[in-house]
A and B are shown apart, each in its own frame.
Chain A
Amino acid sequence: MSVAYPVVFSALLFSVGVYGVLARRNAILVLMSVELMLNAVNLNLVAFDVWLRDALHGGQVLTLFTIVVAAAEVGLGLAIVLLLYRNRSNIDVDRQDTLREPEQEAR
């Protein structure tokens, strides 16, 4: 199998994730898009590990570590989103503008 297949699919998946992060307004949907991007990276890691036949299995072990870090990230991210919902009763990322520069509010 050519290496081009996994890397092209992971590039496409990453671009889908980029679109989701930039275009979505709901914070949970943004988290889902981040997961898509992380999965694209995982696919790359596995593909290169299998291609290069790493004796230490660095790519696949790093994939497992990435999955664990992603789980921790989602746990913390959802805790923050829930806190945001409790305090503001909305989770739209472009309405969280407390730290915005004051002079831009005139627009």
Chain B
Amino acid sequence: MTTPEIVFTALGVVAVGSGVLVVTTKQLVHAALWLVVSFGALAGMYLVLTAEFVAWVQVLIYVGAIVVLLLFGIMLTRAPIGPSEGLNSGNRTPALAVALGTAAVLVTLLVRGFKDARIDLDPGGGSGDALGEAIFREWVLPFEVLSVLLLAALVGAIVLSKGGNLPGRNGKGR
């Protein structure tokens, strides 16, 4: 194993391990915090793969924005602080079987398929320079469409959370 492979494996173990903790922990807030660890390790993996810009965007948007948003969601739904029962539904065993099956099939297939392919890690391929040029030369139309999508999502979220006079809603609960 070369040095990048060792670093990558260590980061991958951290990412997958904290991912497992996200889906098994009994405390809601801890799940969000383990998600931070998982995303941070993933950002490190992007760095090893020379994708620097993606790594920093990952830290900014996932760790900075999405996890904070999830923590706000936890807070606003008045989740209990301590360990709480009933976070898992009754179908844990089938879920475990499906997940293990997915993992087994995918890992076997991918290892057999990509065992001999090598990545040459040259720095610079994922710098902000190269990616900015690619986005604003080749991908500028998808980029603009995406900003319209973000605007639509923003308006949708405001409309949904303002509530008020939505048609067909009785506002009383059941």
Contact = CB atoms under 8 A, between A and B. Distances in A.
B22 A20 contact: yes
Interface string B51-90: 1011001100110011001101110111100000011111
Contacts of B73: 28, 31, 78, 81-82
Interface of A: 1-9, 11-20, 22-26, 28-29, 31-33, 35-36, 39, 42-43, 46-47, 49-51, 53, 56-58, 60-61, 63-65, 67-76, 78-83, 85-89, 91-94, 98
Interface of B: 2, 4-5, 8-9, 12, 15-16, 19-20, 22-23, 28, 31-32, 35, 38-39, 42, 45-46, 48-51, 53-54, 57-58, 61-62, 65-66, 69-70, 72-74, 76-79, 86-92, 94-96, 98-100, 102-103, 106-107, 110-111, 114-119, 121, 125-126, 130-131, 134-135, 138-139, 142-143, 146, 149-150, 153-154, 156-157, 160-161, 163, 169, 171-174
A5 B5 contact: yes
Nearest to B145: A65
Contact of B89 (A13, A23, A47): A23
Nearest to A65: B146
B35 A12 contact: no
B56 to A, nearest CB: 11
A24 B61 CA distance: 24
B101 to A, nearest CB: 9
A19 B65 CA distance: 24
Contact of B117 (A3, A33, A49, A74): A3
A29 B149 CA distance: 25
